């Protein structure tokens, strides 16, 4: 590792890096923050990651993963992921492209080389651990590096997801049980008599769809769903402003008149915004990844669904759950998809004296939140003002959490959107789902969406506050 950022040696402290920012984590959050920061301020940044390359959790994701949303909304502000391409074939023809694992990892490698390192102001310290106290240690050479007091620390790992490949099962694995993380599925050498998929989220739906696409009989899949999930209809989360803002207008209108949260979600389902796998069961989980309706049809073909809570023990021939046990074939392959993809640590101010902690600002869309924090850091000097413009917003989990996420996201969008330069910047970045791109021709559908958003925002925010409080 060379250190072009003005490193100087000290026998006591190791090498001191002459940088203005130390960004911990070169995943999507660290990359989006750094990209927007150096695009708008003449500063020097050391990015540090214990992994060998940028890209974060995607480097260890399961091979058949794709973004669940359009590529347009992911990555860094300066460089469009996927070129804005629309799918022309397959069951999602007409919807925007979603990058796969290789596409995401090579995108981040290109952004690092072509934009960040090419600027001469950013260096990635790969294979290095941040150990606290302004100190980074190489996991390869053992060399230590420190950063000066004036250097701001950016914690871009606060919302780093747990992924099955790196998380042990959350249940006991008894003798003879075959339990594998989802990553292992493509490497299985002999088909088992039954696949037992454990988990209710996006990873579990991906695993089920992948098994079915590879010819596994739906009756040979047992799906353990501790909770029923609400998911967003991918067709409504598209970059065209008529589609996205039309969805927002429908959502706000439904929220404003909703008698309760469960009722609201059913109304959103009737509007084609929310999807659930089994219409006879009321979901209690609202992390709301996006799903396509063709995937929904596939998932509904699996009839052996177990709703007995979380798995406690997987043994050969039997699985124990919180509310009972089920028998499974002796050669069943248990596919662990239960890691906590979206975390909900406490909301903290993004700017604190000791550390900057990027978090989503509008509801969801973590890359936009990180890039916005980078832009605001570059263009404002007062931390209190930065926090006023960009309070954090959490991810969803329960229905009440979802209401809270949207309540804060709407309030925050009003705060940062009132600043003319931020409005202009966020209209220019494709990471912002709610933008109307400069030069957009306009349409009657867009005018209608904007009018309805204006009419329903106030009542919707008031109603969300009530719904979030009631839970």
Task: Using CB under 6 A, list all residues that contact ligand FAD.
Answer: 24-30, 48-51, 56-57, 61, 65, 67-69, 73-74, 129-130, 156-157, 159-161, 163, 202-203, 341, 365-367
For tokens 């998380």, the residue is 167
Shortest CB 132 distance to ligand FAD, Å: 8
For tokens 């010819």, the residue is 215
H/E element, 324: strand 324-327
Nearest to ligand FAD of 180, 308 (CB atom): 180
Nearest to ligand FAD of 40, 66 (CB atom): 66
Nearest to ligand FAD of 273, 467 (CB atom): 273
Per the CB < 8 A criterion, the answer to whether 339 and 163 are in contact is: yes
Nearest to ligand FAD of 232, 306 (CB atom): 232
Nearest to ligand FAD of 24, 36 (CB atom): 24
- How are beta strands 152-155 and 311-315 bridged, if at all? unpaired
- State how far Cα 319 lies from the chain centre: 31
Nearest to ligand FAD of 30, 199 (CB atom): 30
Shortest CB 28 distance to ligand FAD, Å: 3
Shortest CB 50 distance to ligand FAD, Å: 4
Nearest to ligand FAD of 69, 457 (CB atom): 69
Strands across the sheet containing 318-321? 172-173, 311-315, 318-321, 324-327
Shortest CB 67 distance to ligand FAD, Å: 3
Nearest to ligand FAD of 108, 265 (CB atom): 108
Shortest CB 341 distance to ligand FAD, Å: 4
Integer Cα distance of 465 and 237 in angstroms: 24
DSSP secondary structure string, 200-228?
SSHHHHHHHHHHHHTT--GGGEEEE-SSP
Residues 6+ apart with CB under 8 A from 107: 75, 79, 81, 99
- How are beta strands 230-233 and 172-173 bridged, if at all? unpaired
Per the CB < 8 A criterion, the answer to whether 265 and 283 are in contact is: yes
Shortest CB 243 distance to ligand FAD, Å: 17
Shortest CB 127 distance to ligand FAD, Å: 9
Integer Cα distance of 381 and 33 in angstroms: 16
DSSP secondary structure string, 60-73?
GS-TT-B-SS-GGG
Per the CB < 8 A criterion, the answer to whether 376 and 331 are in contact is: no
Shortest CB 141 distance to ligand FAD, Å: 15
């Amino acid at each position: 590792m060379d250190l072009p950022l003005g490193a100087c040696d000290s026998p006591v402290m190791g090498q001191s890096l002459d940088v203005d920012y130390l960004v911990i984590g070169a995943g999507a959050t660290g990359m989006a923050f750094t990209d927007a920061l150096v695009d708008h301020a003449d500063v020097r940044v050391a990015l540090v990651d214990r992994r060998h390359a940028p890209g974060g959790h995607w480097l260890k994701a399961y091979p058949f993963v794709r973004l669940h949303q359009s590529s347009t909304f992911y990555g860094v502000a300066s460089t469009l992921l996927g070129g804005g391409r629309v799918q022309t074939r397959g069951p999602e023809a007409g919807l925007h492209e979603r990058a796969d694992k290789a596409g995401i990892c090579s995108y981040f490698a290109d952004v690092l080389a072509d934009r960040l390192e090419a600027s001469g102001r950013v260096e990635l310290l790969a294979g290095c651990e941040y150990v606290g106290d302004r100190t980074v240690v190489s996991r390869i050479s053992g060399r230590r590096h420190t950063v000066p007091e004036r250097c701001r620390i950016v914690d871009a790992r606060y919302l780093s997801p747990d992924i099955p490949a790196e998380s042990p099962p959350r249940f006991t694995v008894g003798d003879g049980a075959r339990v594998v993380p989802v990553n292992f599925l493509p490497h299985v050498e002999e088909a088992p008599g039954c696949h037992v998929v454990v988990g209710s989220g996006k990873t579990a739906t991906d695993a089920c769809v992948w098994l079915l696409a590879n010819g596994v009989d739906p009756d040979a899949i047992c799906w353990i769903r501790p909770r029923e999930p609400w998911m967003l209809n991918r067709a409504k989360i598209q970059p065209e402003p008529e589609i996205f803002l039309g969805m927002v207008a429908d959502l706000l209108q439904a929220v404003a008149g909703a008698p309760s949260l469960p009722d609201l979600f059913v109304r959103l389902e009737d509007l084609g915004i929310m999807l659930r796998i089994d219409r006879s069961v009321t979901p209690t989980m609202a992390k709301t990844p996006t799903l396509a309706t063709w995937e929904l049809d596939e998932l509904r073909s699996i009839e052996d669904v177990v709703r007995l809570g979380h798995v406690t023990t997987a043994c050969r021939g039997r699985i124990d759950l919180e509310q009972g046990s089920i028998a499974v074939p002796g050669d069943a392959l248990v596919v662990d998809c239960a890691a906590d993809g979206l975390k909900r640590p406490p909301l903290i101010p993004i700017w604190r004296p000791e550390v900057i902690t990027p978090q989503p600002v509008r509801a969801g869309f973590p890359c936009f939140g990180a890039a916005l924090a980078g832009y605001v850091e570059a263009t404002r000097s007062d931390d209190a003002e930065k926090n006023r413009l960009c309070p954090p917003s959490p991810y969803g989990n329960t229905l009440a959490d979802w209401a809270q996420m949207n309540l804060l996201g709407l309030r925050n969008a009003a705060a940062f959107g009132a600043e003319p330069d931020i409005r202009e910047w966020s209209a220019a970045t494709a990471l912002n789902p709610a933008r109307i791109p400069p030069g957009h021709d306009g349409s009657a559908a867009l005018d209608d969406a904007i009018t309805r958003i204006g009419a329903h925002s106030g009542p919707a925010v008031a109603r969300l506050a009530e719904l979030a409080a009631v839970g």
